[in-house]
Amino acid sequence: MGDPARKADLFDALARTGKALASGKRLELLDLLAQGERSVDSLAKAAGLGLTTTSAHLQALRQAGLVATRRDGVRVYYRLAGDDVAALYTLLQQVARTHLAATERARTAYLGPEDTEHLTRGELLDRVKAGTATVIDVRPVEEYTAGHIPGALSIPLDQLEARLAEIPTGTEVVAYCRGANCVFAHDAVRLLTARGRTARRLVDGMLEWRLADLPVAADAA
C-alpha cells in the first residue's frame, strides 16, 4: 500500500498543469506560442491583453512548466517548453470538441458556417508536388517568419484583398493559418471565392503541420 499523503502530493502536482490550463486566455497564449517564440509585448497585442495581465498569465504557464523563456537585453521571449505541450493543447481541443457540445457550438459561431472547401495535409502535399496549387499563409508576418510551409506565400489576411494580383492565376489557391480553430483561412477562402478564384483551406493549420513532423521553412532573423 502506498503512502496516502504522497499519493495526494502526486495528484496535486499533476493538478498544477490542469490549473494552468484552466483559463481561456492562457490557452490563447499557448495557441500563439505554438506558432513560434514571441515577446511579451507581441503576445499582449495579439491576445488583446495588457502587459501586466499577459505577464501574469505567462508566469502561471511557466510555473506549470508549459513555457520557457529567454532574455535579450530588457526584452523577455517566451516559447512552448516542448512539442509535447503543443500535442497536449491539440488533444485538449479534440477532447473538448468530442465530449462537450458547447465547444462545437462556440467553434461554429466563431469560424462561421461550413461554407468553405478544405483539404488534408496529404492532399496539399500532392497538389504542391504536382504544381497545381498556390499556397498562401494568411497569418501575421512574424508567425510566417518563425516557420511556414515551404513555398508558401506570406499574404496576411488583412492584406489579402489588396494583394490579389500577386497570386498566380490558373492554379487552385490553398490558404492556411494557425490551426484547426483559426478563422483566418476560412475568411481568406470566402474572400477569394467571392473574387472568382478557386480556393480551399487546409483542414487544420501550422500547429498540426508541425506536430505531423512535416517540412517547415523559416526566414533568417
Cα–Cα distance measured from residue 26 to residue 47, given in angstroms and rounded to the nearest whole number: 10
Cα–Cα distance measured from residue 180 to residue 174, given in angstroms and rounded to the nearest whole number: 15
Task: List the one residue out of 161, 169, 93 whose CA is nearest residue 132.
Answer: 169
Catalytic one among 124, 160, 177, 188? 177
Q: Is 182 a catalytic residue?
A: no
The cell numbers describing 30, all together, are: 499557448
Burial 35-56 (b: 16+ CB within 10 A, else e): bbebebebbbebbebeeeebbe
Largest Cα span, the chain: 71
Name the residues annotated as catalytic: 177
